[in-house]
């Protein structure tokens, strides 16, 4: 071995003379290759099928939103759109379950419902973590996005360090990733 890759369980077993593990190294890997190729095909085929869909002069494509913040006191975070909306904007929080994404060419109204979440705090290091997964609905829009609709899933991740409950944590990172089909009326 040239040391360019890490040793896995099967490699260590082979080095240590474990015949059962060494037999697994020589087993055909065709099912694994087929599975990987199938999953890759599904990953690219589904967005392509959705991207090409039309409905009476309107079209639907996959939209990805990325929200980022490093300020825990900030109420308006940066939102990036990758898809039919391909722009930088601002996320205006309306309530615990509603936001408005403002982009240069219009706004999109979003409602979201958490499905699962978890948080933790380590008092020795003052590290706080939080994650949440859920679904969202696009309920309308203005400007170029008037009549927008869609749905999808989102994931929230927060990392923060701070032991004083009366002071903002430092550092702090909030990342929200959302993905789903977006229906826009064509002009």
Measured CA to CA, the distance from residue 91 to residue 119 in angstroms comes to 23
pLDDT bracket for residue 59 (50, 70, 90): low
- pLDDT tens digits along 136-180: 999 999 999 999 999 999 999 999 999 887 888 989 999 999 999
Quote the pTM value: 0.67
> How confident is the prediction for the chain on average, in pLDDT?
76
CB 57 within 8 A of CB 184: no
Residue 66 predicted with pLDDT over 60: yes
Phi and psi dihedrals of 14, rounded to 5?
-65, -45
Nearest to 168 by CA among 61, 73, 97: 73
Sequence ranges of the domains in the chain: 1-51, 57-184
Nearest to 109 by CA among 69, 74, 79: 79
Other beta carbons less than 10 A from residue 155's beta carbon: 13
CB 31 within 8 A of CB 39: no
């Amino acid at each position: 071995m040239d040391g360019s890759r890490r040793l896995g369980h099967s490699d260590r077993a082979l080095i240590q003379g474990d015949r059962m593990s060494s037999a697994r190294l020589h087993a055909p890997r065709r099912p694994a290759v087929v599975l990987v190729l199938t999953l890759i095909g599904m990953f690219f085929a589904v967005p392509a099928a959705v991207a090409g869909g039309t409905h009476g002069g309107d079209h639907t494509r996959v939209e990805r939103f990325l929200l980022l913040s490093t300020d825990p006191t900030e109420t308006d975070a940066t939102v990036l759109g990758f898809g039919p909306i391909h722009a930088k904007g601002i996320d205006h929080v309306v309530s615990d379950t509603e936001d408005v994404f403002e982009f240069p060419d219009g706004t999109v109204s979003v409602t979201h419902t958490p499905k699962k979440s978890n948080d933790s705090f380590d008092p020795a290091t003052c590290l706080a973590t939080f994650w949440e997964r859920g679904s969202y609905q696009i309920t309308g829009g203005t400007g170029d996005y008037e009549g927008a609709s869609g749905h999808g899933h989102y994931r929230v991740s927060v990392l923060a360090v701070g032991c004083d409950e009366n002071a903002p944590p430092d550092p702090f990172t909030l990342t929200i990733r959302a993905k789903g089909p977006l229906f826009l009326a064509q002009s």
